[in-house]
Amino acid sequence: MASRTLAVYQKDGTLRNLATAVLSCHPITTLPDDDRSFFKAAADTDYIVATRETIFHPQGGGQPSDTGSIKSSSPGSDIQFDVKSVRKLPKDRILHQGTFTSPAESSSGIFSEGQTIVQAIDDEKRNFHSRLHTAGHLLGLAVRQLAESSIPELGRVTEGKAQHTPGSAAVEYSGLIAGEHKKAIQDQANELVKQGLPVNVFWWDEKTTRSQCTAVPAEMAVPEEGVFRVVEVEGVGSYPCGGTHLPSTRDVGGIVVKKISRSKGVSRISYDITDAA
Ligand SMILES: [Zn+2]
């Protein structure tokens, strides 16, 4: 339905506004079933808008969707679209789901193809998601550092999925992590916060990604462009990752390990962030 959208949030995570243009705008009820299945919580009255570029991070990689608005920048037009959620579909299609606050019944109340618009994302929400997400990487790196220093048994676990949803953030490991290591892991992660290390983004080919990254998922899909986005905590470690991060580890604030649970051979480190370490 829509053409591919340039994922500007992956190039510059600091942007909160972006002027671009509409690729397509349709009632959600006209989406093919496969595409509609990405928007389970949507109402039939919602619309789907695709734009040439986007600063909205779609739900994925454990990070929730951004929310915000898309407003017409055409002279004399006050059309506004409230973005409730964003999904990335196959073939680099990024779709914004939401409602027009302008009357959608009139044809002038919705976007037309090629219309110039300005995107704005919810700044507070993005910052919080980026902090939670970066904290997840720091916990992963803290476990590795401890494995190489004071707690060698942590060298036997393998990093798995991560979830950066507010209130239920966690990093998972295959293998067992004893609950008694909770404080050591928390302290080590907060040490990385205090060091104020730069968080860098690189674009690497598959060979470099597999050989240089600290951990690579067992099944890593090769992007259509063949280039992987990699996030590095400078001097500590790197992961392939498509999410949004912070410029410095210090910006995380503080990390609290809530608990370490173990089930069916998988350990789960649940965590939260606080304003200061
Ligand atoms: Zn990441």
What pLDDT band is residue 61 in, cutting at 50, 70 and 90? confident
ipTM exceeds 0.95: yes
Instruction: Mark whether 104 and 17 lie in a shared domain.
Output: yes
Q: Which of 90, 121, 152 represents a domain boundary (last residue)?
A: 121
CATH of the domain at 146: 3.30.980.10
Task: Evaluate whether residue 1 is within a structural domain.
Answer: no
User: What total of structural domains would you count in the chain?
Assistant: 2
In CATH, what number is assigned to the domain containing residue 22? Answer: 2.40.30.130
Same domain, 66 and 156: no
Compute the distance from residue 137 Cα to the ligand 1 centre, in Å: 6
Query: In three state form, how does the secondary structure of the chain look?
Result: CCCCCEEHHHHCCCCCEEEEEEEEEEEHHHCCHHHHCCCCCCCCCCEEEEECEECCCCEECCECCCCEEEEECCCCCCCEEEEEEEEEECCCEEEEEEEECCCCCCHHHCCCCCCEEEEEECHHHHHHHHHHHHHHHHHHHHHHHHHHCCCHHHHHCEEEEEECCCCCCEEEEECCCCHHHHHHHHHHHHHHHHCCCEEEEEEEEHHHHHHHCCCCCCCCCCCCCCEEEEEEECCCEEEECCCCCCCEHHHHCEEEEEEEEEECCEEEEEEEEECCC
Domain extent at residue 51: 6-121
CA 181 to centroid of ligand 1, rounded, Å: 24
Q: What is the pLDDT of residues 16-58, one digit of tens each?
A: 999 999 999 999 999 999 999 999 999 999 999 999 999 999 9
Query: What is the 73 CA–ligand 1 centroid distance (Å)?
Result: 33
pLDDT at 105: 53
